[in-house]
Chains A and B, each alone.
Chain A
């Protein structure tokens, strides 16, 4: 058992075990007449030429038949019939069945390939998206700049409003004084004019009125006389 263990330890230690596995074969081994492997013909060719394996086969057949190692009986005929039918069936329908099976396998492989392609594209896309999101996150500075700008603008607006309010109020008060003064002056003026008018009207006594009317009449008479004299002259 000890010797066996030593041999066991030498398994899978040669560098050949690390070599890549050869590709899976596409087709089965080559055969001649469907059953006999081609290698047999190749092995016997150097010694016996082309006819060697056939002679070997014929000789073997003769031997087993004559020595009655294989006895011909009913089963032989049944085997021959069944063999014929089977071989006929396989030769006729074999390629179609093989194509069908190949198609099934092909579909499986194609599905797997689609899955693989989809996975690869989606992974690449995901990597792109992650990089884009990182780029987006880099721009966060701008948001805060905008906010600080807004705050500064609001403060400045407030300050200006205050200044304007103060000056406008002061100006309003001064303008009010001026407007008040002008109003006073106008009212005094109007009042004085009315008062003078009223006094003049009341100071015209009825006697003075009669005297002034008489004077007007005499003046008119004189004017008429002068006019008459002018027209006749």
Chain B
């Protein structure tokens, strides 16, 4: 499966040196956790990540080696090759600066906070649902109920005798 192959390719690419190693991402498990209304965003992320990975793997890691001895013997201009060689070996290429990781980290912190709040609210909701479920489970069966029992169990069935003092104690439209 194409995705699994790409996943392995990611695990093989470990960076040497100071750069952070790439973490292996299980796209299948990730895809399971995505809610349906965010699927389009997830697909975009995946295509972008795949494109970036493909671009990275298309570039060889080491650059082409320059055969200095050949150039030294063949180039007529005096000192040019030697000058080039010295300058080239002295050259250090500045590494590109990482500006985005900090933003990502702050995003992550915020998302964590939001997620914790959401989980708390979700637990409160679950508690509420469970209480109502318990009420339904402990209810007496309908054919054993009197009207008073019905009004106790479902307060919305209680007829408001102050608002509608005359029978049927509710608007005609609701009969």
Contacts and interface: CB of A to CB of B under 8 A. Distances in A.
The B interface, classified by DSSP as helix, strand, loop or mixed, is helix
A120 B136 contact: yes
B112 to A, nearest CB: 7
A164 interface: yes
A145 B75 CA distance: 51
Contacts of A157: 52, 55-56, 59
A188 interface: no
A155 interface: yes
A138 B32 CA distance: 12
A154 to B, nearest CB: 6
Given A124-B133, A134-B119, A170 B126 contact: no
A143 B68 CA distance: 47
A170 B88 contact: yes
Contacts of B52: 150, 153-154, 157
Contacts of B64: 164, 167-168, 171
Given A152-B15, A159-B96, A164 B59 contact: yes
B137 A160 contact: no
Contacts of A167: 63-64, 66
Nearest to A113: B142
Nearest to B124: A130
Interface string A133-161: 11111111011111111111111111111
Residue among A112, A135, A155, A178 facing the most chain B CB atoms (10 A cut-off): A155
Contacts of B104: 144, 147-148, 151
Interface in B125-161: 125-126, 129-130, 132-133, 136-137, 139, 142-144, 146
Contacts of B43: none
B12 interface: no
A177 interface: yes
Contacts of A164: 59-60, 63-64
Interface string B49-87: 100110110011101101000010011110011001000
Interface residues of B, number: 68
A178 B88 CA distance: 18
Contact of A178 (B20, B71, B136, B139): B71
Contacts of A133: 35, 118, 122
Contacts of A166: 63, 88, 91, 93
A126 interface: yes
The A interface, classified by DSSP as helix, strand, loop or mixed, is helix
A24 B144 contact: yes
Contacts of B22: 149, 152-153
A191 interface: no
A109 B141 CA distance: 9
A116 B32 CA distance: 33
A24 to B, nearest CB: 6
B129 A123 contact: yes
Contacts of B56: 153, 156-157, 160
B25 A150 contact: no
Contacts of A116: 136, 139, 142
Ranked nearest first, the 8 interchain pairs of A and B with the lowest CB-CB distance are: A139-B33, A167-B63, A158-B96, A144-B108, A160-B59, A142-B30, A109-B142, A137-B115
26 contacts: A24-B143, A113-B142, A119-B136, A130-B126, A133-B35, A133-B118, A133-B122, A134-B123, A137-B115, A142-B29, A144-B105, A146-B25, A146-B45, A149-B10, A151-B101, A152-B19, A153-B53, A157-B55, A157-B56, A160-B59, A164-B59, A170-B84, A171-B64, A174-B84, A178-B71, A181-B74
Interface of A: 23-24, 109, 112-113, 116, 119-120, 123-124, 126-127, 130-131, 133-140, 142-164, 166-168, 170-171, 173-174, 177-178, 181
